[in-house]
């Protein structure tokens, strides 16, 4: 699968997917999100505590998307639609990135950045093939569970980017790790050295900043430098009262130079 010709952000898909972008990243913005939610970002500027900013963001989401009103709805489908907020999909990804929640998140990346998934339950090579159709079915079924999930994820991405700029004002990249057993979920484009590769990662991937933790998920570990602008979410960016996690980060894919570490 290659990048689409269309997206909803300030740079074209081919640029975002490239190894050159990862080496010299530029700011990514989803069209119109910060402008139409200006009040939120002005309010965040007034808060010094990351905990307070995280709660302010959730409260804003709660009101904007009426997430708190699910109990008032009469029909079961309406109740579920509001109750299944962005938090439900993040929890779903952390439990199983190949479930319907994972398909929705991968679908959002495809829609907003133009990067098609290369793996969902199985490798995806052709947008007209059976594997892509199964992904599309999971995405459709998952998105039907909630109210305006893509706009919710738009705002989540912009909040996370705003928060990362506060926490890492002098950094452009994070050294991150991903445990694997093999390259079945990733496409090897080049082998640079014995243990260094250029790979095309799936359009959304789980990483961790904790080297030891990465070994829990495979017999080998990929180490790479991830641009901060490609981080969709990290479990430490929202208060634990909202979402508990073990330091997992959701990273937008493309071409990455990786080092493969072995031996645990």
Cβ neighbours, 10 Å, residue 5: 9
Out of 23-27, 82-86, 109-113, 219-223, least confident range: 82-86
How far does the chain reach from its first CA to its final CA, in angstroms?
Answer: 32
Q: Which residues contact 189 (CB under 8 A, 6 or more apart)?
A: 197, 198, 199, 200, 255
Sequence-ordered list of residues with C-beta below 8 angstroms from that of 75, at least 6 positions apart, any chain:
none
List, in order, residues 6 or more apart from 41 with CB less than 8 Å away: 34, 158, 162
| pLDDT of residue 2 exceeding 80 | no
pLDDT value at residue 77? 45
**Closest listed residue to residue 203, CA positions, set 92, 146, 123:** 123
What average pLDDT does the chain have?
Answer: 90
Q: In this predicted model, what pLDDT tens digit does every residue of 29-87 receive, in sequence order? A: 999 999 999 999 999 999 999 999 999 999 999 999 988 654 444 444 444 444 568 99
Q: What confidence score (pLDDT) does residue 176 get?
A: 98
Question: Quick one: pLDDT at residue 78?
Answer: 41
Q: Please answer whether residues 120 and 191 qualify as being in contact, where contact means their C-beta atoms are separated by less than 8 angstroms.
A: no
The string of pLDDT tens digits covering residues 95-147 is 999 999 999 999 999 999 999 999 999 999 998 999 999 999 999 999 887 77
Listed in sequence order, the residues at least 6 apart from 225 whose beta carbon sits closer than 8 Å to its beta carbon are 22, 173, 174, 175, 176, 257
Distance CA 183, CA 199 (A): 9
What does the pLDDT average to over 156-175? 97
Structural contact between residues 67 and 85, judged by C-beta atoms closer than 8 angstroms? yes
Contact criterion met (CB below 8 Å) for 116 and 124: yes
């Amino acid at each position: 699968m290659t990048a689409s010709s269309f997206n909803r952000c300030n740079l074209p898909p081919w640029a975002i997917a490239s190894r050159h972008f990862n080496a010299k990243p530029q700011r990514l913005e989803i069209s119109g999100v910060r402008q139409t939610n200006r009040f939120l970002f002005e309010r965040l500027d007034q808060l010094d505590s990351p905990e307070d900013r995280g709660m302010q963001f959730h409260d804003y989401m709660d009101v904007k998307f009426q997430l708190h009103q699910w109990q008032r709805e009469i029909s079961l489908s309406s109740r579920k639609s509001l109750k299944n907020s962005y938090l439900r999909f993040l929890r779903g990804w952390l439990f199983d990135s190949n479930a319907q929640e994972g398909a929705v998140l991968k679908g959002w990346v495809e829609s907003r950045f133009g990067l098609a998934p290369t793996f969902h339950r199985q490798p995806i090579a052709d947008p007209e093939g059976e594997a892509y159709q199964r992904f599309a079915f999971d995405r459709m079924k998952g998105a039907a569970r909630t109210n305006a999930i893509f706009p919710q994820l738009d705002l989540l991405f912009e909040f996370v980017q705003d928060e990362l700029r506060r926490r890492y004002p002098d950094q452009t990249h994070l050294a991150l790790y991903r445990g694997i057993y093999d390259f079945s979920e990733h496409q090897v484009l080049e082998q640079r050295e014995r243990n260094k590769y250029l790979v095309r990662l799936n359009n959304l991937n789980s990483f961790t900043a904790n080297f030891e933790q990465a070994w829990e998920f495979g017999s080998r570990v990929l180490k790479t430098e991830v641009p901060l602008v490609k981080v969709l979410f990290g479990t430490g960016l929202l208060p634990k009262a909202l979402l508990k996690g073990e330091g997992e980060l959701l990273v937008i894919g493309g071409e990455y130079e990786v080092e493969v570490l072995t031996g645990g």
